[in-house]
Amino acid sequence: MERFQVALMCAEKEPLVCHRSILISRSLQERGVRVRHILEDGCLEDHEASLLRLLEMHGIPENHLFHSRDELIAIAYEKQAEEIEYSASQSSQAV
């Protein structure tokens, strides 16, 4: 990663419903790697902007009296992970 630019691609038009965004992007950002998502219209969105959308998507305020911003983001990540996780029942419904 120090010598090359790395791109992880998927076919999801919305980065927030992709496991790469929820798992890999999160981990990379925590390590100080700049993460940008390619949106459906071809625009680039920094992961930080995606996090703001994620909070909004789940009705979580950006500021809270009792939780830090990091805690709020962790809650939003957990909620999104639950929504996009694989389940055997989903697989059987698709067949």
**23 to each of 16, 73, 94, how far by Cα in Å?**
10, 13, 24
Specify the pLDDT at position 92: 53
Does residue 95 belong to any structural domain of this protein?
no
Does residue 59 belong to any structural domain of this protein?
yes
Query: What total of structural domains would you count in the chain?
Result: 1
Does residue 8 belong to any structural domain of this protein?
no
The span from the CA of 82 to the CA of 5, in Å, is: 31
Instruction: Return the H-helix or E-strand segment holding 37.
Output: strand 36-38
Does residue 2 belong to any structural domain of this protein?
no
Does residue 31 belong to any structural domain of this protein?
yes
The pTM is what?
0.79
* pLDDT tens for the chain, residues 1 to 95: 678 877 777 778 899 998 888 888 989 998 888 899 989 999 999 999 999 999 999 999 988 889 999 999 999 999 999 998 876 555 555 54
The range of the structural domain enclosing residue 41 comes to 15-86
Does residue 10 belong to any structural domain of this protein?
no
